[in-house]
Structure 1
Amino acid sequence: MTDTNPPAFEPTSIELQSVADSEIIAVSLYSTRAEITRLYKFAVKTGQNQVYISGLPNVLEAESLRVEGRGAATIHDVMLSMENKHVPKSSPKLEELLSTREDKADALARCEQALSSLRQYLGSLTVQNLAVAQLESVLEQYEATGARLDARKKGLARELQRIDADIAAERALVAIPPEHNKLRNKAAIGVFAQTPGNVEIALIYAVPHASWTAFYDIRVDMDTKESPVKLIYKAAIKQNTGESWDNVPLQLETSTPTFGLGVPKLAPWNVDIYQPPSGPTPAREQTRPSWHAPESWSIPIPGQIEAFRDESRSRSPPRASYFSADEEDMGHEEAAVTSSGNVNATFRVPGLVTIPCDGAAHNFTIVELRPKAKMSWVAVPKGEARAHLTAYITNASDYTLLSGTANVYVDGSFIARSVVPRVSSQESFSCPLGLDPSIRIIYPATIKKLSQSGFYKKSATRSFTQRITVHNTKGVPIDGLRIVDQIPASRNAQIKVKLVQPALPLSEGEAAKGAESSAGPKVKGASVVVNKGVVAQWDGGDETDRRVSWVCTVPAQGKINLALEWTLTVSPADARVIEL
C-alpha cells in the first residue's frame, strides 16, 4: 500500500527575522569577542524545509557558526551569505514634508504675485480714472491689503525655512543606513522533517567588537583588625556588534579564546661568503598573492536535531539548557562565580542585563572579595616624618584576577588610583595606600658631642645620638611599622665609624679581627631585640649602605622611643672631616 502523503518534493520555505523571531538566551563575553546563542521556534512541514534567517550581524565570524536543535527533524546543511539590502532614499515623512513644502511654496508665489499686482494697480491710477475724493479711500485699502499680504508672505517664508530644516534632517536620517544595515548576514538551514510539528533551533556564533575589562574598588577599613580589605571586582562592558543585547543572561569569561594558533616554525638560517656581482643584476619581479573574498560560506553540519553534540567545555552549561522543554529550563544558576583549573573563571552577572549597541562602557559589579591582606608601614623620618602605608594583598580565590585599574579608598575617603596586575590564585600584590596621618613621628635634631681625645691629640672621637618618637593615634595597634635611618660610611682609613645603639653584630671577619672601632660590613639579616615589640636590623645591601631599620609593634594610642647612636673617630685629631 502506497503512502497517501509522501514528503513534498519542493522544499518548504520558512522566512525568519533574527531579532523579531528569536531571543538571545546566552552571551559569553571574552576580552575581545562575544559568543551569542539565539533560540528560534517555528513549525515545519513534512519533508524538506529551507529555513532562511535574516538580520544576523555583518561581523559574525563564519567559522564560529554552529546549529543545534530539538525536534523530530534532521539538520542537513547551513550556508551563510551577505544580503545586499536596499537602502531607502525616501520615507513617508520625507514625502509628506516635500508635499507640504510644495504647497507652501505655491502659496508664497501667489502672495508675491498679489503684491506685485497691487503695486501695478496703484501705479496705473491717473487723474482721468480716479477722482481726488476717492484717493484717500483707495490708499487706505492699498495699505490694508498690502500689510495683510506682507504678513502672509513673512509667515510663509518662516514656514518654508522650518520645513526645509525638517527635510534636511529627515534626508540625513534616510541617508544614514539604519541599524538593520549592520545586520545583513543571512543563514540558510536545511531541515528535513519526518512529521509536521514545532522545532527549536539554536544558532551559536562569535562576533568581534565586544569586550570587557576588569577594574576594582579597594576599600580599606583601618579600624578593623581582621579582613581590613574589601576588593570589589567590576567589569566595564562594551559592544558594537550591530545587535542590541536586551534582557540577556551574561557570562564574563576570563580566558582568551585563540583561533588558528600553532607552534611557530623556524625558517632555515644560513650564512655564506659574500660574492660581488660580476655584472648588472636584473630587477626581480615582485609578485603579490591575491585573495578573493567569497560571496558565501557553506558550513555543513549533519546530524539529528535530537542528538545534541556534547562539547566538553567547562565554561558553558550543558547545551540542553538552551531549549525550553518546560518552563523549568529557563532558570538561572545561583552561583555568581565558577572557576576552572585555578586559572580561568566564569562570572555570571546576576539577573538579566541590557547592553545596547553603542560602543559605550556599561559597568557592572561582579563579586565582592575579602582577600587576605597584611598592612605594612614604612617611614624614613630623616627625609619625611610621615609613614607610608602599603597593603600586601593575597588573592585567596580559586581564579586569576585580571589586570585592571583600581580606585583605592581608606576609611571611606578616596586616596589614590592604582593598578592591579594579573594575579594568580594565592599570589600576592602590593597596593600603595598613601600616607597614614594617624601615625605621628617626631625626629629632632641630632645630638653631637666630643666624647674624648687621644693622648697627645693623636685622634679625636665624636658621638652622635638621634632620637625618634613614634605615636600611634589609632584605636587599634599597628604591627609591622618599619622605621629606616642611617649612619655614615667611611671612605678613608683615617675615619672609623662605629654603631653603638642598637648593638647590631658585625660580620664574622670583622669580629675575628677585633675591629671594634668600625661598624664594618654588616651581617645580612642580622637583628637584635631592642625593646618589647621592637627589632632592629641592618637594612642596607653592603658596607657602603649603612642603613638601620626598626620593625615595630605600636600599641593603640601608644608611643615608642627609638635611638640611633654612633661614634666617629678620626686620626689625626686635627684632620678635617667632610661629607661626600
Structure 2
Amino acid sequence: MTADHPPVFEPTGTIELQSVSASKIIAVSLYSSRAEITRLYKFGVKTGLNQVNISGLPNVLESESLRVEGRGAATIHDVTVSTAKGEHVETTSPELKALLKQQERTQYALGRCEKSIEALEQYLASLTVEHLDYSKIESVMESYNKAGEKLDDQKSELTERLQTLRVDIEKERERIAVPHENDKLRVKAAIGVFAEHEGDIEIALIYAVPRATWRAFYDIRVDMNTKDDPIKLIYKAAIMQNTGESWDDVPLTLETSTPTFGLDIPELQPWNLDIFRFTPFKSRKKSAIPGSSSMTMSRMQEKSRSAVDDMDELFGSDVAGGMAEPMAHLGASVTSRGNVSATFRVPGQVTIPSDGEAHNFTIVELNLQATMSWVTVPKVDTKAHITAKIVNASDYTLLAGSSSVYVDGSFISRSEVPAVSPKESFDCPLGVDPSIRITYHPVIKKVTHSGFYNKTATHVFSQRITIFNTKSLPVSRVKVVDHIPTSQTSQIEVKLLSPALVVASESGNTGSMKVQKGKDAAPVPQKIAVAKDVVAQWDGVDEPDCVVESLGLDRKINWICSVASQAKVTVALDWEVTVSPASAQVVGL
C-alpha cells in the first residue's frame, strides 16, 4: 500500500469483520506494564473505496497507539476508533424453550394433583352416619386409600420431574450464556481502503493494551559432584494478562524497555544568581521611610523573605540565614545503576488466556561456570555456608528476579538474582553444607605480671579452629572468619601474635597494634601463607571495593583453606592484651 491519499469517493462496499474470528495474532511484544499486539486480517475488496468495520477489539486498547499496515494494490484512506454500546445478545435456544415449556406443564400437573388430594380429604371429612350406612364404611375407606396412594405417587413423581427440569434448565442457561470476555471487546475500528481493482488484501492492526505484564524468575540447580559447569540456570518468565482477548497460539517476545507515547522533551528553566542584600527594618511605630505605608513595608518584607528563600534553595539555609542545618540543594549527587535492556523470544507458540493468572514459560536453560566457596564464622555459628560466584558466560541478560535453589536435586533455599549482563558475575547463596564440619575449640588463656613499681598484666590467648571435610571430593576454598578485640584506651594494648599480620595504617584509637611507619618501611603484608594450602589475611582484602589503608582496623581476620577429602585442617589465632596498671579491671576481656 502507498502512503498517498486517494481522492474522496463514496464507499462502494462495506465489509464487516469480527476481530477474533476474522484475524490471527501474529506477534505479541510484552513489556513490563503493557503489550503491543499485531493482528493480521485477510479479506476481499471491490474496486474503489471500501469501508472496513472491525469490531470486537479490546476495551482497554490505547487508541493513540493504533496503526494500520497492509499489503496489496490498495491505499489506506482513514482510520477511526469508537466504542460500541452494550448490545442485547440472544441468550436462549430451542432446547431451553422446550425445557421451560415442560417445566410449566409439570407445574400445572403438580397443582392439579395437589387440588385432587385436597378434594379427596374434604369429601372424606364431609361423610356422616346420616348419609353413609355402617356396612359400607369399609369399602369407602378402601377406595379412599387406593385413590390417596395413587395421588401421592403422582405428586412425588411430578415433584422429582420438576426438580430435574430445573437442573437441566440451569445447565442449558450456563451453556448458552455469553462469555464474560465479550463485554470487554466492544471497541470498533473503521478503516477506509481505496482499492485499484477487486481482489484480496491483507492489513495488520498494531495496537497497545495495558493490563499485561511479565517478570523473570529462575531455578538454579547445583551439582556438587562435578567441577565443569556445576550450575544449571533455568531462565523462566511469569506472564499475566487481563486485556479481554485471549492470546491463542501466538509468537511472544518479552521486552524489558518501557514504551512511551507522546512525551515531550523537557525544558530547562532559567537559573539566576544574585547577591543577597539584607536590609534591617525598624519598628512600625518609628517610621524610617517618610511617606511609606504598611503595604509598602509588607511588600518589602516579602521581597526580602523571597530573596532569603532563593538563597536557601541555591546554597542551603545556613548560608543565607545561619539558622538551620545545610540542605545542600545545589549539586546534589544521585547514584543510578541504570536499567538492563533486553529482548527475549519465547520458544515456540504460546497460549495465554485473559484471566489475570500467572502462566510460566521457560526461556532458556544455561550451563554456567561457578566458583564455590564455604564461609563460616565459628565464634557465632559453626555452620558452613556455601556460596557460588556464578559467571554469566551466556549471551543472555539476567534480569533481577527470585530464584529457587536446588543442590544435588534437593530444594535448599530461595534467593535473589540481581541484574547481570553477559560476562558479569554474581554471588548466589546456596544454604548450609553439613558435610563441612567446623570445631571451635575452647580458648586457652595465660596471665603473667611484670614490673616492680608500675606492674602490668599480660593476657595471652590462643584460639584453635578445625575444619573437617567429610566429602568424597576436595574443597578448594573454605573461608574461616574470626577477630580479636580492639582497645579503647591507652591503658590497654592489643597485639596480634599469629598470624603475623599488621595494620596498613594507624587507627584512631589510642590503644594500637604495631604499625610499620616511615618512608622506607617494607610493604605491609596483606596475605600470609601459614601452612600448605592455608592463607591468612585481613578480612575484606579480597573484596573488589577494598581500601588498603583500612585493612585490619576492625581486627577481623580470615583464613582461606583448601581441604582434601576426609581431611582436617586446623588454623590458629594468638594474641596478647597488656593492661597497665595490672589492677585495672578490663571490660569485655
Q: Normalising by structure 2, what TM-score?
A: 0.77
Q: Which of 350, 358, 362 does residue 365 from structure 1 map onto?
A: 362
Matched, 1:577 2:571: no
Determine the C-alpha separation between the residues in 2 that align with 1:393 and 1:482: 18
Judge which range, 443-452 or 136-145, deviates more. Answer: 443-452
| Maintained 8 Å contact 2:504/2:551 | no
Instruction: Encode CA deviations 1:97-122: one digit per residue, 9 max, x unaligned.
Output: 43233212211111112112222332
In the alignment, structure 1 residue 374 sits paired with structure 2 residue 371: yes
Q: Does the 8 Å CA contact 2:340/2:399 hold for their aligned counterparts?
A: no
AA in 2 matched with 1:530: V
The 1-side partners of 2:394 and 2:342 are apart by 10
State the Cα distance separating 1:422 from its structure 2 match.
2.5
Count of paired positions: 506
Partner SS, residue 181 of structure 1: helix
Tell which has more relative contact order, 1 or 2 (C-alpha 8 A, sep 6+). Answer: 1
Structure 1 pair 111–527 and aligned structure 2 pair: CA distance change class (3 A): same
Give identity over the alignment, percent: 59
- Matched with 2:425 is 428
User: Shift of the alpha carbon at 1:258?
Assistant: 2.1
Q: Provide closer, same or farther for how the CA distance between residues 507 and 23 of structure 1 changes in structure 2, counting only shifts above 3 A.
A: closer
What is the one-letter code of the residue matched to 1:562? V
* AA aligned opposite 2:363: I
Tell me how far apart the structure 2 counterparts of residues 268 and 99 of structure 1 sit (CA, whole Å): 81
What does residue 564 of structure 2 align with? Answer: 555
C-alpha distance in structure 2 between counterparts of 1:365 and 1:201, whole Å: 32
Q: Are residues 74 and 575 of structure 1, via their aligned partners in 2, closer, same or farther at CA, if it must alter by over 3 Å?
A: closer
Task: Output the amino acid matched with 2:243.
Answer: T
Contact kept, 8 Å, 2:487 with 2:512, in 1: the verdict is: no
Question: What does residue range 226-375 of structure 1 map to in structure 2 within 5 Å?
Answer: 226-265=228-267, 344-375=341-372
C-alpha distance in structure 1 between counterparts of 2:583 and 2:488, whole Å: 18
Equivalence for 1:57:
58
Alpha-carbon spacing, 1:151–1:492, altered in 2? closer, same or farther (3 Å): same
- The more displaced of 538-547 and 387-396 is 538-547
The match for 1:527 is 527
Hey, what's the Cα distance between the residues in 1 that align with 2:149 and 2:270?
94
| 2:14 equivalent in structure 1 | 13
Q: Alpha carbons of 1:497 and 1:374: their partners in 2 closer, same or farther (altered >3 Å)?
A: same
Partner residue, 1:4: none
Q: CA deviation at 1:71?
A: 1.8
SS at match of 1:123: helix
Contact 2:228 2:369 survives alignment (8 Å): no
Q: For 1:405-444, list aligned pairs within 5 A.
A: 405-444=402-441
The equivalences for 1:128-143 within 5 A come to 129-143=131-145
C-alpha displacement of 1:168:
6.5
| Closer/same/farther in 2, CA of residues 161 and 264 from structure 1, 3 Å limit | farther
- TM-score normalised by L of structure 1: 0.78
Which deviations, in whole Å up to 9, do the C-alpha atoms of 1:77-133 show, x marking residues without a partner? 122211124234752355444323321221111111211222233234344554333
Go from structure 1 to structure 2 and tell me whether the alpha carbon gap of 1:567 and 1:267 turns closer, same or farther (over 3 Å shift): same
Aligned pairs (5 A) from 1:496-515: 496-507=493-504
Q: C-alpha distance in 1, partners of 2:506/2:47?
A: 97
Tell me the residue number matched to 2:218: 216
The equivalent residue for 1:465 is 462
Deviations 1:22-44 (A, max 9, x none): 21121221221111122222122
CA-based RMSD of the aligned residues comes to 3.5
Shift of 1:226: 2.7
Mark the CA change 1:84 to 1:553 in structure 2 (over 3 Å): closer, same or farther: same
Inter-partner Cα distance in structure 1 for 2:65 and 2:190? 15
Q: Which amino acid aligns with 2:539?
A: D
Structure 2 CA distance for partners of 1:505 and 1:158, relative to 1, 3 Å:
same
Q: State the 1:171 CA deviation.
A: 6.8
Specify the code of the residue in structure 1 equivalent to 2:513.
Answer: A
Q: Equivalent residue of 1:19, what SS?
A: helix
Q: Which moved more, 1:95-104 or 1:54-63?
A: 95-104
| Residue of structure 2 equivalent to 1:385 | 382
Counterparts of 2:457 and 2:247, CA distance in 1: 84
What SS does structure 2 have at the residue aligned with 1:148? helix
* C-alpha distance 276-258 of structure 1, shift in aligned 2 (>3 A): farther
Match of 2:520 in 1: none
**Equivalent position SS for 1:371:** strand
Query: d(CA) in 2 for partners of 1:366 and 1:51?
Result: 39
User: Are the counterparts in 2 of residues 8 and 46 from structure 1 also a CA contact under 8 Å?
Assistant: no
The amino acid across from 1:60 in the alignment is: L
User: Helix, strand or coil: the match of 2:21?
Assistant: coil
The 8 Å contact of residues 521 and 543 in structure 1, kept in 2 or not, is answered as: no
Q: CA deviation at 1:443?
A: 1.2
State the secondary structure of the residue aligned to 1:101.
Answer: helix
- Give the letter aligned to residue 433 of structure 2: D
The AA in structure 2 aligned to 1:546 is R
Deviation larger for 206-215 or 421-430? 421-430
Gaps of 5+ in 2: 1-7, 282-292, 297-338, 517-522, 541-549
Cα deviation code 1:354-392 (max 9, x no counterpart): 111211111111011233433232211111112122222
CA–CA distance in structure 2, aligned partners of residues 344 and 393 of structure 1: 21
Asked if structure 2 preserves the Cα contact closer than 8 Å seen for 1:343 and 1:399, the reply is: no
Give every structure 1 segment of 4 or more consecutive aligned residues whose post-TM-superposition deviation is greater than 6 Å. 168-177, 266-278, 522-525
In the aligned structure 2, how far is the partner of 1:497 from the partner of 1:75? 86
Is the 8 Å Cα contact of residues 469 and 564 (structure 2) preserved in structure 1? yes
What is the aligned partner in structure 2 of residue 46 from structure 1? 47
Q: What SS does the corresponding residue of 2:137 show, helix, strand or coil?
A: helix
Structure 1 residue aligned with 2:577: 568
Does the aligned pair in 2 maintain the 1:504–1:528 contact within 8 Å? yes
| Residue from 186, 193, 196 that aligns with 1:194 | 196
| Range 445-454 or range 404-413, more displaced | 445-454
How far apart in 2 are the matches of 1:576 and 1:343?
Answer: 57
Cα drift, residue 456 of structure 1: 7.2
Q: CA shift at 1:407, angstroms?
A: 0.7
Q: Does the CA-based 8 Å contact 1:507-1:520 persist in structure 2?
A: no
Contact persistence 2:11–2:51 (CA under 8 A)? no
Match of 1:156 among 142, 158, 168: 158
Contact 2:340–2:419 (8 Å) recurs in 1: no
2:29 counterpart SS class:
strand
User: In 2 relative to 1, CA 380–276 (structure 1 residues): closer, same or farther, beyond 3 Å?
Assistant: farther
For residues 506 and 27 of structure 1, do their structure 2 counterparts lie closer, same or farther at Cα, with a shift above 3 Å needed? closer
